[in-house]
């Protein structure tokens, strides 16, 4: 079977676990060289080693603070220089610092915006410069249904995820003429470490508002990302694809 992404170079932030890990694996299995960016590189190294010979050398763990603009710029330029191209950018890095808005601390709000939105802007700005010169590229930003419908206790998270959607639409309009697409994937409740920590009562309550009555798995999100990264999605841009089992509709 031919690999659709053969010889392409992808940067995936938040690549140490969960959805990010699944995205890295999916792109690599389809032939891409994947730079898996995360603060905790040891976690990435562990699961990459466990893959064995499945995707030899295609996933490269990278330790990076995505909120450090100078480090991001230097990293993206180095990738372009060493590999000669940047074809795919997936902004998946994200954190939560939940709390009701009336008692939310400034740092709780700022930290989430810095990691979930501002860092994505840093990567889009840096990578798009190389994509524009090459006249090709796929930018995929991972938002959330929280950015579409809001969520109690997550004013910071929902603001950041909504901001990703708005930013992506603007970017899509700016870069489309150069053959670059920019889209958003908005997952709902997905089985990750983050949702595993939820009390069982909240998990069961969440399932009651999901049409499919279950949480998704990271691979189901990763396959949508892989589609948007591939040639079949060449006429799709500025769109938000919701992967939530029918929770928000």
Which residues are designated catalytic?
A: 157
For residue 213, the cross-strand partners are: none
| H or E segment and range at residue 62 | strand 59-63
Burial per residue of 77-88, b for 16 or more beta-carbon CB atoms within 10 angstroms, e otherwise: eebbeeeebbbb
Q: 73 is written with which tokens?
A: 């710029």
Q: How many CB atoms lie within 10 A of CB 117?
A: 23
Burial of 232 (0-12, 13-18, 19+ CB in 10 A): exposed
Q: What is the DSSP pairing of strand 9-13 with strand 240-243? A: unpaired
| First CA to last CA distance, the chain | 36
- C-alpha 69/C-alpha 73 separation (Å) is 6
Q: What is the DSSP pairing of strand 88-91 with strand 59-63? A: unpaired
- C-alpha 228/C-alpha 19 separation (Å) is 15
């Amino acid at each position: 079977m031919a690999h659709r992404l053969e010889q392409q170079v992808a940067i995936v932030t938040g690549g140490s676990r969960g959805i990010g890990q699944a995205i890295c694996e999916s792109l690599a299995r389809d032939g891409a060289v994947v730079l898996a960016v995360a603060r905790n590189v040891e976690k990435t190294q562990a699961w990459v080693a466990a893959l064995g010979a499945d995707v030899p050398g295609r996933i490269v763990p990278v330790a990076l603070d995505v909120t450090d603009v100078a480090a991001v710029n230097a990293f993206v330029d180095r990738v372009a220089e060493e590999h000669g191209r940047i074809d795919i950018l997936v902004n998946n890095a994200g954190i939560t610092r939940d709390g009701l808005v009336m008692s939310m601390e400034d740092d709780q709000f700022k930290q989430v915006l810095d990691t979930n939105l501002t860092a994505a802007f840093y990567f889009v700005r840096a990578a798009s410069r190389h994509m524009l010169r090459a006249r090709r590229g796929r930018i995929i930003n991972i938002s959330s249904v929280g950015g579409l419908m809001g969520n109690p206790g997550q004013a910071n998270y929902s603001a950041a995820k909504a901001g990703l959607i708005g930013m992506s639409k603007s970017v899509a309009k700016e870069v489309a003429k150069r053959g670059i697409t920019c889209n958003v994937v908005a997952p709902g409740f997905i089985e990750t470490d983050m949702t595993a920590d939820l009390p069982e009562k909240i998990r069961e309550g969440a399932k009651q508002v999901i049409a499919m009555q279950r949480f998704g798995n990271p691979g189901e999100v990763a396959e949508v990302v892989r589609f948007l990264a591939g040639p079949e999605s060449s006429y799709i841009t500025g769109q938000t694809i919701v992967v939530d089992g029918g929770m928000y509709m």
